[in-house]
Amino acid sequence: MAASEFIDYMIPGKCGHLVGIGGVSMSPLAEVLSERGLIIRGSDINESQTVMRLRSKGISVTIGHNPQNTIGADFVVRTAAASDDNPEIAAARSLGIPVFERAQAWGAIMREYDNAICISGTHGKTTTTSMVTTILMQAGADPTVMIGGTLPLIRSGYRIGSGRTIVMESCEYYNSFHWFSPTIAVVLNVDEDHLDFFGDIENIKKSFRKFAGLTPADGCIILNADDTNTLDALNGINRRIISFGIDKNADVKAKNISLGKLTAFDIYYMEKLFCHIRLGLAGIHNVKNALAAAAACIALDIPAEAITKGLACFEGAERRLQYKGSFNGADIYDDYAHNPGELSALFEAVCELGYDRVICAFQPHTYSRTKLLFDDLVRELKKPDILLLAQIYAAREADTMGISSAMLAERIEGAVCCRSFEVIADTIRSMARPGDVVLTVGAGDIYKIGEMLAVSSNDDCQNHSNAK
């Protein structure tokens, strides 16, 4: 069913059942629909703080998936994790209740906003979406926001605003962003990922081109002038274009760049100085993210002062080179990087910080990604001084592809494949020293290692203090 058909159900008094209502983009969807006067209820596998929050807002949530839960619903919306054999999905279809995808619902909601900024790309989406959010809030635009991670400013991955702008992180997997209705489509980069679905880079390019083409005739596309795949994918597309970049000629360009733990640069728009940026993040990739965010806001006529102040106060998104603490004088950072492009950007940023050694604990994400991008992962994972590999995080997959972390370790000199997080943490405890940086990296639950180390460090400090 098309997103336009979901609009027919966005009527006060209609009853919607959300399968997987506690999910990162399902819970804000529940709130948005509820605030519009719909009767919203849902189910999830586990109790969580999100579930409790929804209940506090009068949204009924049951734990477990039961066919009875769909009775009386006018429509059902499902999370991507709810397959066709989910008992609630099967029951809804047997009762003739329409079943919508999560992205379809968001796509319909976007149509009711004057401005829909949809931020896409193989990597950098969460940070850039967070930057745009911070700028718009600085400008008083009061946006509605959906981010794929937690933004400290709003203490969440989403907010429900009263303004006329919605900002959406837009994922290409399964062509989900094809359901969206952007007025401003941002394409940060186009790279090989999700090859289990797309098959090859050409199909990925086609997907991004279709997404960008969803903008209306008076819409705008923000694209990375430094990224060859992006330029190839969007070549000749008939929309207003605002390009951003560093290396190539671009409409929004960074000059006079100073890198380090604090990054500074000038933004030039149409070859004229637009503003000076001080950014509390490391890495040239974050300069590009900031340029993309600035370009999207320029398309909305946001003033330079708001862009300057918004980026100056931006503290980063959760799990994006996030400082977690220290152990034995070594700083601990956590990062979500899980594909070769993200790893390259991460290691480049960390090299700029001047640490003596980089100790990286990496958790490969999904068997298919590890197998299909194996050689590229090997190339990037050779960069840290010390590499500890966790077992592959399966996510939605089963271990049927004949690939393992041990196979990565065999190709990387000095790499060690560990059977558990506890072994990795103990290994780091035995070697970490002042001047080191410890990175916990991956899209799964590898962040727990950094928390284990930081906690043990805090315990050591407390014991030392008590001893005094």
pLDDT one-digit tens code per residue, 232-254: 999 999 999 999 999 889 999 99
Pairing of strands 416-417, 330-335: unpaired
Q: What is the mean pLDDT of residues 178-192?
A: 95
Cα separation, 393 vs 375, whole angstroms: 18
Using one digit for the tens of pLDDT, what is the confidence trace for 59-77?
999 999 999 999 999 999 9
The answer on pLDDT for 126 being more than 60 is yes
Confidence check: pLDDT of 282 > 80: yes
Structural domains in the chain, CATH included, are: 3-102 (3.40.50.720), 113-312 (3.40.1190.10), 322-467 (3.90.190.20)
Q: Is 183 helix (H, G, I), strand (E, B) or coil?
A: coil
Phi, psi of 221 (to 5 degrees): -115, 130
pLDDT tens for 16-31 read 999 999 887 888 899 8
Q: Which residues pair with 335 in a beta bridge?
A: 441
* Residues identified as active-site: 125-126, 169
Give the residue among 248, 192, 256, 207 at the shortest CA–CA distance from 224. Answer: 248
pLDDT of residue 1: 55
Average pLDDT value for residue range 287-312: 97
The CA-CA-CA angle for residues 184, 316, 215, to 5°, reads 10
Q: What is the DSSP string of 398-461?
A: -S-SS--HHHHHHHSTT-EE-SSHHHHHHHHHHH--TTEEEEEE-SSSTHHHHHHHHHHHHHHH
**pLDDT tens per residue across span 365-392:** 999 999 999 999 999 999 999 999 999 9
pLDDT bucket at 216, cuts 50 / 70 / 90? very high
Mean pLDDT (whole number) for 181-195 = 94
Q: Is residue 291's pLDDT more than 90?
A: yes
Rounded distance, CA 170 to CA 296, Å?
14
Nearest alpha-carbon partner for 112 in 160, 64, 76, 71: 160
Per-residue pLDDT at 82 exceeds 90:
no
Instruction: Name the pLDDT band for 425 (thresholds 50, 70, 90).
Output: very high
